[in-house]
Structure 1
């Protein structure tokens, strides 16, 4: 029996992972696509005059089963993939792209939407209904509803090709990540590495039936080696391998794919009447246009670069003083930064890690959410999972009502892509008086427990967990009528506010007291460490700021102009990085061929939004600090105006309703130590 073709008879309608066979996906997709087409056909064929309910609301609730199957499949494809799922993704992506085009290019459907849109002033619509109507109308126009038939066909062809290229891009990056290993047999080559990292490397070798130690390009293996390994030649080897992902002479090379993607995106934008892909994307962002984004990034660059150059000079002098290094290279940055940080603050990640046992940090995030928003997390064993590592929780309010189902998936494995992300298996919405609650997941890649130690997080990993948990709260506390406006369905340059604001609690004594306890003794994190964490928060922030800005500027370079004249990815990238270059270039490396955020994720013309959201989060958290970091009134304002509202209101209006004013850039510059 194909479980994806029938209603799930499971607790809270959760996905029945263990009963789904990979062979079920294609038939289920095909049936759900056909079903969605029938729903649209019925909507269009309705002989009654077009109304909000029979057209706009009906469209918002169409294709729900297809969305559910897509959420399950594509989340597995990111967190638990294999060759078979890769093949299915390649087959399904063009079908979904075609369906999407068939809907947005359906002239009769658009005529019904347009008829309602043109009389919106006379309709008694609430704020959310009005937003949904405007969004639908714009989505259709922005996806070619006003094009002639031949241009509509061009658009379909471009979208079908892009959907496959993006998947191939991601598969190539993962393949190169998995293909590389540094196999060490001499224990001297592990000098400087923390005990936990050595043990993890040994476990990795054992899993493969090998002697010695294996270092991989997965972050929990890569980052400690780059930060602590004394063997400079080995650091160089590992850094170059990481920088060569999808940029080497093999079947995974992404250079041609990058050029094809940017050219197709540009052609698509031109077809729709926009000067560039960035102009197209930014029309639906808080930033509005590429000029605003470039001005924003360059303004921060002007403030951050002098600090970055000063920090680089200090780091170079330090490396020369202790090791006689003449030129600091990219593979030296993390290593000497850590050494200098230890010298300045006597703050070593390895000293902190015993206080950040994964289970305690997770519970700390739960406790903070409880204090702020009155929600409770209870781990349950009755919910099916796609891998034994996954944990499942029921989230309830103070009255015992179900708020959400929460999945947590923390450890790296072969079929899981690098990094950390939040996603959902089912959105929140209200239908026929029933408030359907969301199923939300966070996926990370933290160090696995070993035979002698639990999973202990670096402070950076603690903030990563809080970041993704902030996204999860945005999904879990959603309270809107229509699924297409729910939770994280907001402007891309607003979506990082809930996640980034959560990171701030990691630096506060009152919050750390809840979870930062030594995994063996139970002792609280010493106050001096808390002070040092706060002091060191702005350590080398100039360099970190310029690095982040460089990614945003590279994204705008690819997408903010006509790319048809670009011949070589590497040459173009060097020119785009010219104003932000601090370290010497590495000839064998290029970032774009593995820049998944913009070529495989949703961040094309949107990478600036990380910095944009930092402005919002610093300003928002300043309000919490003024009133108390657990102040329930401020938390209620944040929940009611931002977390629960999704995309029902323009984000700047939501922000002003929470804060009482537009955001200021000063709190961010102060926090980063870039202004006094």
Structure 2
């Protein structure tokens, strides 16, 4: 096909612009090249502009269908191109992809503002909103009207022209700052490598960890050496097992100082500008702080409610962490260590676990091969929701590591699931779930979802498959909970499918973690990768007894990051802000002990500087109140009870943002959540 773009220049065939001629109409990853994105973005914006013009200039009176649904379905091409580009930028980013991101960010910002500030369009939306109670709309339709109207208001549609012009400039700057932060962090992650060339440097490390480091070295053309990186799957085992305290300090210090090295990748000035422009935008829109603006559409509603929850947990968590520290210091003292530091925590925590519970993580790993954990996850999804997963090889993938599955229920197609598990230099850190196509059912046309999971797990080494840690196993179950939310979605519209409050979106992922180490589930999937022997009952018992181990540390480091996030975004003046000083003072006021660093320090806290969790990192613990309370029902009825699973699917997993989040939760649980199960699960009570 041949397409003419906005500039009238003839464009070559572009796989992003036509119908996807692929199985299940998944993106044609094998045909997409970097040079295809800019023409596709330009054409997508052009088509979206035409859609908006048609809605705004419609001579008919505004109705739910010709205004609200028309808006919800507008810009289909631009939405498709954006989803593909930004998802792929997270997993295969390079200089060319970053260059495109830098160019397209201000384009998309301007385009979004052009829609928001289109006065005739907003008047039509407002007209439907004002009479929504008289239109006979169902719950989801009414919710769609409210979400779209609120989007316009929160984006400045009701401001005067002068303030709208200010907002345009702010939005453009923020779009570029988010790109810059991500580029700096990716560069910082890639810049550090702990390269070891002496066997004595490997003291304490299990053979599997050593083999993994050798494989990483080989990939980076350093045969005969061992390389450890700042990826969690590399640094965490090193910190846990290396008896070389000097090397633990070296790698952990590098990890903590990412984006804070006063070099070209330093993020402090970027962060200060992000805070400045976010605050300016929030003030323009009538909010005192950025947190007030952001939380207004979340379950929590106000910063005061968030601080109340976090502070309720802070003191008991810190007290438990201090007891954990005392246990470790006693052992460390025998090694002659009198200045116990943050790079010692993982190492001595593992020693305490072994002493208290006779449990060594390396005893566990052989039973948690990636293949077996995947089988366990699929088993749970089948038992709970009737889903089947069949690996397929006839769909294009974006990288050789990606595996694809067709998901079905009683033989009926549900969706496509992509998964990929291992770190690369061009890939973001951590783990996440996203989608390349959202489920919708507009005007009776059902569109099946395409969901994707990306992780950074321990790699296979030689003949040894990828053997996951307990943390990695739990992470996999977590991300798969998000995947279930996408695969089982059954909403009608685009907006009601994805506009889930930040502090509710983690409920499906976190409740799914509860099945990971349940003894009933472990019997099914936790089998030795060599012998096929099921995990011994004695080992499962030890895992159960140690499930609250180190929870003071885990909770405290998480809460410290959450409180740091909220402290930044409740600032009312950032003009003279010193980032390093503010972080130190904030953590000092909390009483955080020096042996614990926040889970994310300021300069590499990607969640909150453009990652969708600004003033929102608390969402994980907010949702944990829900998931701990909700799983109590499964425990009462049976963890695979069909009626309970159906209720969770019908009231939460399938509903997206089709109703108020608390209303959906209460329909599932029968009451508002209690804090008690969370305190009990974390051993804080």
1:239 equivalent to 2:255? Answer no
Listed as ranges, the matches of 1:660-671 within 5 Å are 660-671=670-681
Residue 485 of structure 1 is matched in structure 2 by 496
Matches within 5 A, 1:121-270: 121-210=133-222, 211-270=224-283
1:100/1:6 CA distance change after superposition, 3 Å? same
What residue is the counterpart of 1:544 in the other structure?
554
The correspondence for 1:403, drawn from 400, 414, 418, is 414
Which residue is 2:457 aligned to?
Answer: 446
- Give the Cα–Cα distance (whole angstroms) in 1 for the partners of residues 256 and 679 of structure 2: 30
Which of 345, 349, 362 lines up with 1:333 in the alignment?
A: 345
Q: Does 1:272 pair with 2:285?
A: yes
**Aligned-residue offset at 1:233:** 0.2
**How far is 1:631 from its partner?**
0.5
Q: May I ask how many residue pairs the two structures share in their alignment?
A: 671
Q: Which runs of 5+ in 2 are unaligned?
A: 1-12
| Residue 607 (structure 2) aligns with | 597
Q: Which residue of 1 aligns with 2:359?
A: 347
**Counterpart for residue 30 of structure 2:** 18
- CA shift digits 1:510-566 (9 cap, x unpaired): 111121000000000111111221221111212221111111110111001214244
Q: Deviation per CA, 1:132-165: give whole Å up to 9, x if none.
A: 0011111111110110101001111111110110
Contact in 2 for aligned 1:239/1:331 (Cα 8 Å): yes
3-state DSSP of counterpart to 1:450: coil
Q: Quick one: structure 1 residues 586 and 435, their matched pair in 2 at CA, closer, same or farther if it must change by over 3 Å?
A: closer
Residue 366 in 1 paired to residue 393 in 2?
no
Query: 1:547–1:580: 8 Å Cα contact kept in structure 2?
Result: no
Quote the residue 2:478 is aligned against. Answer: 467
Q: After TM superposition, give the deviation of residue 247 of structure 1 in Å.
A: 0.5
Deviation at 1:569, TM superposition (A): 0.8
Residues 553, 596 of structure 2: 8 Å contact kept = no
Aligned equivalents of 1:362, 1:278: Cα separation in 2: 38
Give CA deviations for 1:95-154 in whole Å, capped at 9, x if unaligned: 111111111121111100111111112111000000000111111111101101010011
Could you say what secondary structure the match of 1:273 adopts?
A: coil
What corresponds to 2:651 in structure 1? 641
- Whether the 8 Å CA contact 1:549–1:608 is kept in 2: the answer is yes
Instruction: State the 1:244 CA deviation.
Output: 1.2
CA contact (8 A) 2:30 2:396 kept: yes
Asked whether 1:311 is paired with 2:321, we answer no
Shift of 1:433: 1.4
- Distance in 1 (CA, whole Å) between partners of 2:84 and 2:526 is 34
1:93 is displaced (CA, Å) by 1.0
Give the secondary structure class of the aligned counterpart of 2:504.
coil
In 1, Cα distance between equivalents of 2:232 and 2:316: 30
Contact 2:327–2:352, Cα closer than 8 Å, also in 1 = no
Matches of 1:662 and 1:318, distance apart in 2: 44
Out of 378, 387, 392, the residue aligned to residue 390 of structure 2 is 378
2:574 is matched with which residue: 564, 568, 573? 564
CA contact (8 A) 2:557 2:596 kept: no
Distance 2:493 2:146 in 1: 14
Separation (CA, whole Å) in 2 of partners of 1:203 and 1:669: 41
**Aligned structure 1 segments of 4 or more residues deviating by more than 3 angstroms:** 579-583
State the alpha-carbon separation in 2 of the partners of residues 632 and 519 from structure 1: 31
Matches within 5 A, 1:394-433: 394-398=406-410, 400-433=411-444
RMSD: 1.4
Q: TM-score, normalised by structure 2?
A: 0.96
* Structure 1 gaps, min length 5: none
Q: Are the structure 2 counterparts of residues 566 and 193 from structure 1 closer, same or farther at C-alpha, using a change threshold of 3 Å?
A: farther
Contact 2:276 2:575 in 1 (8 A): no
Q: Is the 8 A contact 2:178 2:610 kept in 1?
A: yes
Secondary structure of the equivalent of 1:18? coil
Match of 2:127 among 86, 110, 115: 115
Post-superposition offset of 1:579? 4.2
